[in-house]
Amino acid sequence: MLHNKYFEIIREFLGDYNKSIYGKIKNILSKLRQTEIEEIRKKIKML
């Protein structure tokens, strides 16, 4: 599934010490439509 790819990227980006944050992001992304996911990707790239 495409969403799982994002979750893997986010988890690697945050590292194992931030799994609670990863979980929150996963919950948020699961509610978003594809166009909104694109916006999140842009924000992550700006960090």
Q: What tens digit of pLDDT does each residue of 1-47 get? A: 566 787 777 777 766 656 677 777 777 777 776 677 778 788 888 87
Q: Which residues contact 34 (CB under 8 A, 6 or more apart)?
A: none
Residue 19: predicted pLDDT: 66
- Measured between alpha carbons, how far is 46 from 22 in angstroms, rounded to an integer? 17
Could you give the number of structural domains in the chain?
1
**Domain encompassing residue 26:** 2-46
pTM: 0.29
Contacts 24+ apart (CB under 8 A), 2-6: 3/29, 3/30, 3/37, 6/37, 6/41
